[in-house]
Chain A
């Protein structure tokens, strides 16, 4: 009986982190400051690690505990460090003035995406009776969709990168629930891969700022499809 109460408590706490992860995803959509977006991402990664610890404790899975540690190492420590080293400081102090869609509408769209995610997975989660799956899969998918949206709507390089990384967080948040005993090597390789994404985009952004002088993706439009078909 005591054990079941503990399980329930942990499931409740996991649901709380799920809510907080969704909230940080909204926060990334609503923030104009480049530095602020990055901070929201770090906080979100901490919640992801927390969820991984909680479920790992509940299922007695050393894998998930290790995954939580890997998440903190990769996303809270390594990625901000990598970005700090490759990118010039002035990029962090930027504010995005011209977003494609303004913030209130963006938030509304993000909300709609979250609801859509719930609907997409609702026929699937019935397969499992584990409450964790019912929480993590829809929220994870919502994280992916909202990240993809901010990738499309953003124009500065770093917020776009953070959009990709936030999508990765969403995938992992679903992953800790549904693929909890994935071999550790695979998870480690995935973490390395995420760091490499930050390195590659960081280097590319640095090169672009040096040669083109801007990191607003929208101003780069030298290359086009063959004009007279699409005009």
Chain B
């Protein structure tokens, strides 16, 4: 029941935001309902830890460890982003009259984001992923400026084009499932139990189609070009959701399908995933070296992390899978913090150019400290959670014998680390330009940053027992041997 509540709360909130007398309270409604959804997700997670699976509607909405982990991330990031939006949107938006519309659309986006992991059926998960794409397109273009609309248009064409391709992929998957003697209702669980009976050729063909279709949405190179545009032009709370969660959710579907394909046929597909993942990491690391806009910088870092997760899943071992799951979680919580800090800097200085930001520590110690913390965390410095998960991914790669891939991956991670630090260093230290004026950081923005920083700081030094067992269980779902 709690699962259905977590699913329906954002939908209900969207309805409330749309009703005319309540439009003034859209922010309150959104924050309340999303925090409730997070509480429901935590409750569901406790059930999953106890029974292994939480059932909303049997065969339709079910959550195992991997999906409840994604639901937890979605509800956490989205509720904090909603808090952040309170101060940010009222401060910076040109469209303050249409804010109710923003929150309505935002709640619909959160609903779609929860649908994908909550669905037991791959076909409905496809519908969820498409809804996520559609709702986020309108939010990217929300400001209505020519550049924002251009970013939204690019994103629309590149990501919606994947929809029919992945749809055919899911049709072929269904076909393979039926030819392999599966039952009438296709579920992720049913697929993984009958993977051995399915035709490997059909499975591979279906995976290829889904990978091409969803890979564009994840932002894997070379289909990543929409991502930095959208993430630099969208309102900052949306960037946090897009980078932290919206890229993760299609990746979740890819990982699910990948584990099924890997369990049925030989590991060649895994090697391809490593190559494609490394390619994304490489492109992102090079682009990070010469980026000029700090929101774009964090966007490229998302491309990098998506590549790392894909490569880790490609190792096709249990350790690789648990590294991938941990990285997925750590990326979501850290990257959303990055965008909140970037939003704070944008409020303080009003510019997105790295070269125009000097001496941030002197202008606003709070924004400076937040930026320093999040860029240390996202680049993978110890003692932050991303360091731990990247380390475990590298060691998993060594143990499964992918030595070359590990060396390349480690080199690229170091390049990205150095690149992020060169850029942030210029922004944080030194003397501010005399002419620069600074605004104060609104209270809700401060609150959001403080809340988002808690898991980033804590999970690096201490992983609570339930979180650890959730990750282990989720890695089991992804299989590996």
Contacts from A to B (Cβ < 8 Å): 121, 123-124, 127-128, 140-141, 144, 147-148, 151, 160, 164, 167-168, 170-172, 174-175, 178-179, 181-183, 185-186, 189-190, 193, 196-197, 200-201, 203-204, 207-208, 211-212, 217, 220-223, 225-226, 228-229
Taking the nearest CB of chain B, how far is it from the CB of A63, in angstroms?
11
B: residues with CB less than 8 A from A are 121, 123-124, 126-127, 130-131, 134, 137-138, 141, 144-147, 149-154, 156-157, 160-161, 163-165, 167-168, 171-172, 174-175, 178-179, 184-185, 199, 201-202, 205, 225, 228-229, 232-233, 286-287, 290-292, 296
A selection of 17 A-B contacts at a CB cut-off of 8 Å is A123-B201, A164-B160, A164-B163, A174-B168, A182-B123, A182-B171, A182-B174, A183-B123, A186-B124, A196-B131, A200-B137, A201-B156, A204-B141, A204-B153, A208-B150, A217-B157, A225-B225
Cβ-defined contact, A148 with B161, below 8 A: yes
A160 to chain B, nearest CB (A): 6
In Å, the complex CA distance between A186 and B205 comes to: 21
A201 to B175, CA, bound (A): 31
- Given A144-B165, A168-B167, A171-B171, also A223-B153 (CB < 8 A): no
Q: Which residues of A contact B127 (CB under 8 A)?
A: 186, 189-190, 193
Contact of B123 among A144, A178, A186 (CB under 8 A): A186
On chain B, the residues within 8 Å of A228 by CB distance are: 290
In the complex, what's the smallest C-beta–C-beta distance from A98 to chain B, in angstroms? 18
Query: Of all chain A residues, which has the CB nearest B137?
Result: A200
User: Which chain B residues lie closer than 8 Å to A203 at the CB level?
Assistant: 138
Question: A178 touches which one: B157, B171, B225 (CB < 8 A)?
Answer: B171
Contact in complex: A200, B165 (CB < 8 Å): no
The complex places the Cα of A160 from the Cα of B156 at a distance, in Å, of 11
A179 vs B123: C-alpha distance when bound (angstroms):
11
B150 touches A170 (CB 8 A): no
The one of B137, B151, B202 in contact with A223, judged by C-beta atoms closer than 8 angstroms, is B151
Point out the residues of chain B lying under 8 angstroms from A140, CB to CB: 168
A45 to B175, CA, bound (A): 23
Contact flag A226-B290 (CB < 8 Å), given A171-B171, A204-B138: yes
Partner of B168, one of A171, A182, A208: A171
| Cα A217 to Cα B171 with chains together (Å) | 32
Nearest A-chain residue to B127, judged by Cβ: A189
> Which A residues lie within 8 Å of B286 (CB)?
229
CB contacts (< 8 Å) of B157 on chain A: these are: 151, 160, 164, 217
B251 to chain A, nearest CB (A): 20
Choose among A178, A193, A222, A226 the residue that contacts B131 (Cβ–Cβ < 8 A): A193
**In the docked arrangement, what's the CA distance between A170 and B121, Å?**
22
Q: How far is the CA of A160 from the CA of B178 in the complex (A)?
A: 35
Closest to A166 in B: B164
The docked-state distance in angstroms from the alpha carbon of A226 to that of B178 is: 48
A196 surroundings in chain B (CB, below 8 A) = 130-131, 134
Check B121 against A175 for contact (C-beta < 8 Å): no
A181: chain B residues within 8 A (beta carbon): 178, 184
Give the shortest distance, in Å, between A168 (CB) and chain B (any CB): 5
User: Are A211 and B161 in contact (CB-based, < 8 A)?
Assistant: no
Q: Which residues of A contact B167 (CB under 8 A)?
A: 168, 171-172, 175, 190
When A and B form their complex, which 5 residue pairs have the shortest distance between CB atoms, in order from nearest?
A167-B164, A178-B175, A175-B171, A186-B123, A179-B174
**A226 cross-chain contacts in B, Cβ below 8 A:** 287, 290-292, 296
Give chain B nearest CB distance to A41 CB in angstroms.
13
B135's closest neighbor in chain A, by CB?
A200
Cβ-defined partner of A222 (8 Å) among B130, B150, B185, B202: B150
A171–B163 Cα distance when bound, in Å, is 10
Contact B168 A211 (CB under 8 A): no
Q: Which of chain B's residues have a CB closer than 8 A to the CB of A175?
A: 167-168, 171
Extra contacts, 7 of them, besides A212-B146, A217-B153, A222-B150 (Cβ < 8 A), are A128-B179, A164-B163, A168-B164, A178-B172, A212-B149, A217-B157, A223-B154
Question: Quick check: B161 and A167 within 8 Å, CB to CB?
Answer: yes
